[in-house]
Amino acid sequence: MITLENIDKHFNDLHVLKGTSLAVKEGGVTALIGPSGSGKSTLLRCVNLLEVPQSGRVRIDDAVIAFTPAGKVDRNAVLALRRKTGMVFQNFQLFPHLTAIENVMESLVTVLRRSREEARQRAMDLLEKVGMVEKAEAWPASLSGGQQQRVAIARALAPSPKVLLCDEPTSALDPELATEVVEVLAQLAREGTTMLMATHDLRLAATIASEVVFLDAGEIVEAGSASKVFRTPERNRTKQFISTLTAQDLPPG
């Protein structure tokens, strides 16, 4: 489904990802966890090339791009790969001049050239899925953070992407509002939506992830099923990082 092979990423002298390889299973939720600066968000953003690796290879379904330090990336190849993904950002990034439903419709009309009638029906279906149909005509400024993020999830799902990428989807929300978003993501997980998520929220990862990847200093320290990584981690560094989880937070064994 998604494979990242030997991804190397530098920001000037900072070596953020060090030959990182990852496979994401179709129909499951893979959570990237790790301390700040571990490279989890950068790795996520390399999937849809919001960050372009210096070397390595990215595959989503039948779209493949290889990177070399001296090579140029073909723009059409980048667009083909990006069309396979939907992105949910930390800070929602809704268009403030568009209503909730117009935000969801936007890519369908402007990118996929759907009719406004067809786009509106698709948008209403998705707003219903995320519990926001009653706010369809609301402006983003009138919505809570949790409501804005649920609209953002609907927008990301609108073009029927192969994978939903979530970059710290609850970090800008207080606990009560974060719960709304977690419930939506958990429902998507139960429906078999393929998701790759970077998060510092271990409880979120334990709640909805089927697979967990723990990164530190740009390298994968440990990876496996959520139950295995959270309940019986093999590496001391992993044990130390997840030590704040209580027994009630852990995924089923």
Provide the CATH number for the domain around residue 78: 3.40.50.300
Are 93 and 131 members of one domain? yes
Are 166 and 70 members of one domain? yes
Strands of the sheet containing 14-24, edge to edge, are 14-24, 2-11, 55-60, 63-67
Domain assignment present for 197:
yes
Domain assignment present for 176:
no
149 within 8 A of 181, measured Cβ to Cβ: yes
Domain assignment present for 69:
yes
Are 75 and 166 members of one domain? yes
Domain assignment present for 108:
yes
Are 166 and 66 members of one domain? yes
- Tokens 């974060």 sit at which residue? 178
pLDDT (tens, 9 = 90+) of the chain, 253 residues, equals 799 999 999 999 999 999 999 999 899 999 999 999 999 999 999 999 999 999 999 999 989 999 998 878 888 999 999 999 999 999 889 999 999 999 999 999 998 899 999 999 999 999 999 999 999 999 999 999 999 999 999 999 999 999 999 999 998 888 888 899 999 999 999 999 999 999 999 989 998 999 999 999 999 999 999 999 999 999 999 999 999 887 777 777 7
Q: Find the domain containing 105 and state its range.
A: 86-160
Is residue 236 classed exposed, middle or buried when 0-12, 13-18 and 19+ CB atoms within 10 A define those classes? Answer: exposed
Are 149 and 216 members of one domain? no
Are 143 and 48 members of one domain? no
Cβ within 8 Å of residue 114, ≥6 positions away: 108, 122
